[in-house]
Amino acid sequence: MAFRYGKVAMSGSEFRFVKTGVPGLDELLEGQGIPEGYHVFLLGSPGSGKTTLALQFLHYGASIGENGIYISLDEAPHILIRNMRRVGIDLESDIKSKRLALIDASPIRHIPGTVKIGAFAIGKRDFSLASLIDAIQNHARELHAKRLVIDPISSFLLQYPDEAERRTAVMDLMEGVATLGCTTLYLSELVETGTDRRYQFEEYLAQGVIIMRRVLKPTGIVNSIQVEKMRGVAHDVQPHPYRITQNGIEVYPTELVF
Ligand SMILES: Nc1ncnc2c1ncn2[C@@H]1O[C@H](COP(=O)(O)OP(=O)(O)O)[C@@H](O)[C@H]1O
Ligand SMILES: [Mg+2]
């Protein structure tokens, strides 16, 4: 039987790695992947490929028996399925075989007055963190999920105009989700101006941060991915190019973006 995880000794206790399923990305993570159960923020500019990468992560998980839940706070599942088919990733078969569930939690814009989270319908005013956490927990337990994606948390956080409230909401969400033990990707927009960028509070809360950017070079636009933080892992810190291909996202770990 093939080994799905690598193992590494960490201060007396071992932890396991979850393969991302993105060619080249695990190379930046000791050749292993993301430590199992970690909460990782995937930050990026709009259109950089965050959603594609996250669904690829779940699709790969489904192929090796690590079931996944995708909580969509933005795009409708049928749109995601269609877009992913265009990059060679068939989510429908994962859904049919109950290895993946795409949960539409995008009520605020799409379903005025009500919130629909899978089979649950909740009044818009009652849409709360608690119901979101509840729904995530129910779906994850039902599917025995090992992988979880919340995309994008920036949409969810629009409800909290106050920065301190936003921070508390993210912490509550992370805490509620942590009980599941899933390796979790939280997707969010990257706040950046020119070459400078403001550190976002998410980065202090997460065990890992991966950043996807579109960078303007004299030769044109280059996509760049960088593992900014992965606690306990001797990760590569340099930005590397990636492409969105007909087989999903591919990272080129031996090339650099400068
Ligand atoms: N069929 C395709 N082939 C290659 N690239 C594509 C294809 N469809 C979309 N893209 C690229 O993927 C990007 C959208 O990726 P997405 O994962 O939705 O980004 P994000 O979630 O970061 O906004 C588009 O901006 C486009 O550049
Ligand atoms: Mg997206």
Element (H, E) at 85: helix 77-86
**Which residues does ligand 1 sit against, CB inside 6 Å?**
44, 46-52, 86-87, 244
**Per-residue pLDDT tens listing for the chain (258 residues):** 333 333 433 444 678 999 999 999 999 999 999 999 999 999 999 999 999 999 999 999 999 999 999 999 989 999 999 999 999 999 999 999 999 999 998 764 444 455 565 655 554 434 568 888 888 999 999 999 999 999 999 887 887 888 888 888 889 999 999 999 999 999 999 877 666 666 777 788 899 999 999 999 998 999 999 999 999 999 999 999 999 999 999 999 999 998
Count the helices and strands in the chain (H runs, E runs). Answer: 8, 16
State which CATH number among 3.90.850.10, 3.40.50.1820, 2.40.50.100, 3.40.50.300 fits the domain covering 7-20+29-189. Answer: 3.40.50.300
In the numeric block, which tokens belong to residue 247? 């087989």
Identify which of 210, 224, 243, 244 to mutate to test ligand 1's pocket (most ligand atoms within 8 A of the CB). Answer: 244
Choice from 48, 56, 75 to test ligand 1 binding pocket (greatest atom count within 8 A of CB): 48
* Ligand 1 nearest-atom number relative to CA 87: 1
Residues 6+ apart with CB under 8 A from 54: 42, 70, 149, 151, 185, 187
The enclosing H or E element of 107 equals helix 107-110
Nearest residue to 72 via CA among 40, 108, 48, 47: 108
Q: Rounded to two decimals, what is the model's pTM?
A: 0.89
Strand bridging mode 240-245 / 248-251 = antiparallel
